[in-house]
Amino acid sequence: MLYSQVLATGGFVPVNAIANSYFDYLVEDADEWIRSRTGIRERRFASATESTSDLATSAAKDALQKGKIDPLSIDCIIVATSTPDMILPATACMVQKNIGAANAFAFDMNAVCSSFIYAVETADNFIRSGKYGKVLVIGADTYSKILDMQDKTSCPLFGDGAGALILGSTQEKKGILQSIVKSDGNGWELIQVPSSGSRKPITAETIAAKENTFKMAGKSVFIFATDVIPQIIGEVTAKAGIRPDQLDHIIPHQANVRIIDFISKKTGINKDRFLLNLDRYGNTAAASVGLALDENVTSGKIKPGHLVLIMGFGGGLSWGGILIQF
């Protein structure tokens, strides 16, 4: 029986910190308005010359350095993103070149803000098959590039960043123990960029109508998130044969602190067990879980033996959770 153990984590955020006051042009006293509704104080925006592959490359190099891992030993690279450098080729192939992982095959995965969870699930199955020994997963997004900066309901929520995870094969029962991934296409319209592909190609008219920017039905997404997160916690722990109160930490998708407050009350799990960084980075989409994971592994808050549940939810609709023993 093979398992996928965590060999290393990495993370990267752009240097450009954007305080809530940046959005004073949208709403009076933007800092209080945003913090009271989301818990976000600031976020990072990529520069005009920084792309998703740049952020992903930096996070990957960070993980390789921390784990003292030779890039040539990587068998597969998965970049989880919904803001690729371009529609083709895969952003993962650019990262492969940048880090010198010549022996890997590389591809992108898009499940919007669940992308990192889907990618880790895929990497785990690759390793459990016995065909691949090391897989690099990177969640990276630059939502600042696709936001409508006049939409106060969405543009203050998001930031840019990247989080990386390197998984390796082991026969010891640790690492990824259980997982679930799910989707419901009936809700695809709730989170979208309407003019961004073959359904409605980008034209001067769609740009003028801002249909090439991010759109979200916020209230419906809140209801969806507060419904599926308790399900994730219950289903994954039940499959693992443990109680939710045996989890040392939970790393949720970093979307809104109100969602976490609601889940804490609904499940009875103390909020202290939820590891958050959204106050500093906002919603970094596919990067959020990997970035928070790296911060807490690097700081030593996550220790050997700890049981950690990582969770994501997002467009598609999509959601999932993965239980990791460190």
- Give the number of C-alpha atoms closer than 13 A to the C-alpha of residue 97, restricted to the C-beta side: 7
Structure tokens at 285: 């989409």
Structure tokens at 30: 């933007």
Is residue 114 exposed (0-12), middle (13-18) or buried (19+ Cβ within 10 Å)?
buried
Using only C-alpha atoms, the chain has a radius of gyration, in whole angstroms, of 19
Whether residue 91 contacts residue 52, with contact meaning beta carbons closer than 8 Å, is answered with yes
Q: Is 113 a catalytic residue?
A: yes
Whether residue 77 contacts residue 61, with contact meaning beta carbons closer than 8 Å, is answered with no
- CA distances to 64, 66, 90, 178, 255 from 110, rounded to whole Å, are 23, 27, 11, 22, 17
Bridge-based pairing of strands 307-314 and 249-251 is parallel
At 140, phi and psi to the nearest 5? Answer: -145, 135
Q: In this structure, how many other beta carbons lie within 10 angstroms of the beta carbon of residue 206?
A: 16
Could you say which of 110, 212, 277, 283 is catalytic? Answer: 283
Q: Whole-angstrom Cα distance, residue 310 to residue 293? A: 8
Could you say which of 155, 253, 256, 296 is catalytic? Answer: 253
Give, in degrees to the nearest 5, the angle at Cα 227 between 275 and 31.
50
Q: Whole-angstrom Cα distance, residue 3 to residue 8? A: 15
Could you say which of 20, 93, 110, 113 is catalytic? Answer: 113
Q: Which residues face 312 on adjacent strands?
A: 320
Q: Whole-angstrom Cα distance, residue 213 to residue 194? A: 7
Catalytic (active-site) positions? 113, 253, 283
